[in-house]
Structure 1
Amino acid sequence: MFKILKPNTSSFIEAVENLSNIYIGSSVSFLDKQTSIEDFDFCIISINECRGDQSDKNEIDFEEIKIQLYQLYKGNWNLSIIDLGILDAGESISDTYYAFQSIIKKVLGYNIIPIILGGSQDILYSQYRAYDGIKYMLNLANIDAKFDLGDSNVKMHNQSFLSHMIVQKPYNLFNYANVGYQTYLNSQEEINLLEKMFFEAYRLGEVSKNIESVEPTLRDADIVALDVTSIQSQSLGQDSLYPNGFDSREICALSRYAGISDKVSSFGLYELQHLTSNISKQLIAQVIWYFIEGVKFRLDEKADINNPNFIKYQVPVENDILVFYESQLSGRWWIEISSNFKDVNNKLNQHTLLPCDKQNYISACNQNIPERWVKARKKNEF
């Protein structure tokens, strides 16, 4: 399976192996015939596929991004990383999709978290499909200025992969959440369609005003993807991308939230072919660092109504009684979605705890039903 991957250059490997043990690079191993990958915490895989990019950019300096990461100091945690090398573009783009999907499925089977450095974001479709047969009903959070909904009737590209996720079998997408969309980059028809499907979309301004507001959404995701063009061009040190977007601190905070989530099992960074400045590569390295730190500080907190660390609150709102749970361990909040709706075929067939925050509880006490709860309940009804 891993034989199709192209190894890193010998000069790059030598540079990493010469790093002091205080740097992340000292915890990195490289794939060879003697390496068994089962015992690693993370794997880093680079996908050199850009044919889905409508701008025809196709050059990615993966080793420059990775050396920036490997030269960062370790945090107060232990970790082990295997660098799997590069998956070059196949003869056809569908060849790349198939190979990448197979590799990620294999890695997930080892309970290793893949950190994906990718080209055009249509590759995310294969990251999503790798979960087929592993987990039913996935939640995907995409940090992106655009919805990338596009037209499912035309060949998939980096601005249309979401429609293919929605319409192609097996239907395995329970929730899609866009974090940081910019309204003027998305048609009103797309905005309305996401609303009709009860998916989530958070405007850039709303998230920037209160970055903590999307922590529950990232906590609820199985897959987190980042389109690097959602970062403002100033923070990337180049003027070829969007003037508005997340700044360097905000994007690192979002990455850490994704890492802290006990549920997130893969993290993809896409559209790297657009990064040309040294600052942009340093920033992406730091984004990955914050994701790794988040993972290493996970609490493995079981979101269960019978968790003894949870305090239960019942709030009458209109004709419902909303049930909230607060963790005494982490201070995080959840709201219950009961499986006992009358005449409802609940997709998850269980009492589900939906991540929320304290503000949702306070709003419910003021007779305002949380929008995330409404959308999750409606999705369960179909």
Structure 2
Amino acid sequence: MAYEVLKPVADVAVAHIQLLHPQCIGNSIRVHSDHNGFPDLDGVQIALVCLRENRNDRNHLGEKLTFTEIRRAFYELFPGNWNTIIADLGDIDKGETVEDTYFAVRTLSEVLIKQQIIPVFLGGSQDLVYPLYRAYDNLDQMVNLVNVDSRFDMGDSTQPIDNISYVGKIIVDQPYNLFNYSNLGYQTYFNPQEEIDLMDRLYFDAYRLGNVTASLSSVEPVMRDADIVAIDMGAIKSSELSYKYSKMPNGFDGKEICAIARYAGISDKVSCFGIFEYKNDTQEETAAMLVAQILWYFIEGVNFRASENMDIEKGNFLTYQVPIDNEVLTFYKSDKTERWWIEIPFISGLNNKLKRRTLLPCTYQEYLDACNQSIPERWFKARKKNEI
């Protein structure tokens, strides 16, 4: 059983619940504990799992991870007007090898996703995104990965995997399930030019930190198309975390990273969410509370999902056709939420990655740009990826 790898939540975190207000999250969440055993997952929509694995962190010095401070901070928050049922399934400890940990993470993720439970992971080094991605191998779908990070994390795919090269492994390792990779918040001086060029050649999406913070709403259509969303704590500026040894003067502030997490939660498509590169620190209270609030905003988003029917023939859409160059772009506007999509056509005779026509989330501004004879860049990239 995939659940056998899960260790109960530490007693000190469970005991903290007894001190909390009856309406706090800690008194409504289903907790895997030594005293009560493994929780009933019937009706659960979100499952929290902490990953103690960090051996593939390039700067690993043998330190051990604990998540008690995050749990205590999260448990003491009050829920919003939610009907979402949450479970804390405990921790996955380090396996005998890193590959053993990967196997446990992949197996658990696949089981939860098949049960339509969203796994929310707290880690650990970000190479753990690799087994999350591999969990989709048996789910018969292409995968869109969104990484909120100051770096692309492509690295050298010919070298052993680590926390800044796992995306390279995702791209080159079979089976090839990756359709799109999007980076939100990259900082140019942290990325070699060859990785920036590779992002362009593969038609992946990259959004600089300044562009995202100038218009946070631009995150929404990117998240709406994501299956996996991973946040690297290194994307957050150090002053927001009070980490003694961190060195990130630039990055997202607390309000911005929480808004990004809420956009991820609202997406009907996101089926796996993770926050990685958490560090235990003697001054970790601020960092732990920020992680707890990021979790809160993701769950808030999930609670307010629109659950739109994305079937073109059956959904309630207004259709707009825009002639541009030698193309006719087809846009759809939802009657329910007034959100916009653009169709990526299925082209017969090509080895399409997508086996049917599909909808790409977009913005109203992209529709207006198309009316002014400007092809949306994300549509162009998505079509090119489909034809590779």
Q: Is 1:168 paired with 2:199?
A: no
How far does residue 214 in structure 1 lie from its aligned partner after superposition? 1.9
1:27, 1:79 within 8 Å by CA — same for their partners in 2? no
Q: How does 1:1-382 map to 2 (within 5 A)?
A: 1-17=2-18, 19-31=20-32, 33=37, 35-57=39-61, 58-238=63-243, 240-273=246-279, 276-339=283-346, 341=347, 343-382=349-388
1:23, 1:72 within 8 Å by CA — same for their partners in 2? yes
Deviations 1:249-275 (A, max 9, x none): 110111000000000001011001266
- Change in Cα spacing, 1:353 to 1:55, as seen in structure 2 (3 Å) is same
Distance between the aligned counterparts of 2:213 and 2:266, measured in 1? Answer: 19
Distance between the aligned counterparts of 1:208 and 1:188, measured in 2? Answer: 23
2:39, 2:87 within 8 Å by CA — same for their partners in 1? no
Distance between the aligned counterparts of 1:308 and 1:108, measured in 2? Answer: 24
What code does the residue aligned with 1:42 have?
A: I
What code does the residue aligned with 1:51 have?
A: R
How far does residue 205 in structure 1 lie from its aligned partner after superposition? 0.7
Counterpart of 1:60 in 2: which secondary structure? coil
- Change in Cα spacing, 1:262 to 1:140, as seen in structure 2 (3 Å) is same
Counterpart of 1:272 in 2: which secondary structure? coil
Distance between the aligned counterparts of 1:135 and 1:342, measured in 2? Answer: 21
How far does residue 17 in structure 1 lie from its aligned partner after superposition? 4.9
Distance between the aligned counterparts of 2:276 and 2:162, measured in 1? Answer: 13
How far does residue 35 in structure 1 lie from its aligned partner after superposition? 3.2
Distance between the aligned counterparts of 2:174 and 2:261, measured in 1? Answer: 30
Deviations 1:168-209 (A, max 9, x none): 111111111011100000011000011111111111111011
Q: Which piece of structure 1 moves more, 253-262 or 88-97?
A: 88-97
How far does residue 4 in structure 1 lie from its aligned partner after superposition? 2.4
Distance between the aligned counterparts of 2:181 and 2:302, measured in 1? Answer: 22
2:31, 2:38 within 8 Å by CA — same for their partners in 1? no
How far does residue 375 in structure 1 lie from its aligned partner after superposition? 0.6
What code does the residue aligned with 1:372 have?
A: R
Distance between the aligned counterparts of 1:241 and 1:50, measured in 2? Answer: 19
1:38, 1:112 within 8 Å by CA — same for their partners in 2? no
Counterpart of 2:223 in 1: which secondary structure? helix
Distance between the aligned counterparts of 1:4 and 1:352, measured in 2? Answer: 37
Distance between the aligned counterparts of 1:308 and 1:223, measured in 2? Answer: 24
Could you tell me which runs of 5 or more consecutive residues in structure 2 were left unpaired when the two chains were aligned.
Answer: none
Could you tell me which runs of 5 or more consecutive residues in structure 1 were left unpaired when the two chains were aligned.
Answer: none
Q: Which piece of structure 1 moves more, 78-87 or 173-182?
A: 78-87
2:144, 2:226 within 8 Å by CA — same for their partners in 1? yes
TM-score normalised by structure 2 residue count: 0.94
Counterpart of 2:120 in 1: which secondary structure? strand
Q: CA RMSD in A?
A: 1.5
Deviations 1:307-361 (A, max 9, x none): 452111111111111111111211210001111x354232222121100001100
